[in-house]
Homo-oligomer: A and B are copies of this chain.
Amino acid sequence: MQSRPKISDAEWQVMKVLWQKSPVTANEIVEKLTAETAWKPKTVRTLISRLTAKDAIGFDKTGRQYMYYPVLTEEECVRQETRSFMTRIRTGALKPMLAAFLEEENLSQEEIDELKCILDKKGEK
């Protein structure tokens, strides 16, 4: 069971590692994250455990070590986050919110063009 388990901030870090490359051992995850963050190895282990408990990631036991892989895709999770972000932010008018959002981001010219392209497609449909 797990329609849409909530992934916490810290857990997201682990998901991101697995989305980049999988399957990997717990140790590989630990190495990456202890390098990027200030977490102790045990902390990362805890996050991994919680994610498996939530069925957000899975593993195959190949001998002593487990090989972890993501169960939830990055797509779904981004979608999920987007939804909760939007409901949180939105007061009614979408525009001021998105304006602030876009202001906040330092978009490159290419990114801007790509976004316009996406919007065009949505527009004509």
Contact = CB atoms under 8 A, between A and B. Distances in A.
B101 A78 contact: yes
Contacts of A20: 91
**Secondary structure class of chain A's binding surface, majority of residues:** helix
A20 B93 CA distance: 11
Contacts of A19: 91
A-side interface size class:
35 or more
Stoichiometry, as copies per complex, reads 2
Contact of A89 (B81, B91, B111, B122): B81
Nearest to A94: B111
A106 B56 CA distance: 27
A112 B103 CA distance: 16
Interface in A22-38: none
Nearest to A78: B100
Contacts of A113: 123
Interface of A: 9, 12, 16, 19-20, 74-75, 78-79, 81-86, 88-89, 91, 94-105, 107, 109, 111-116, 118-120, 122-123
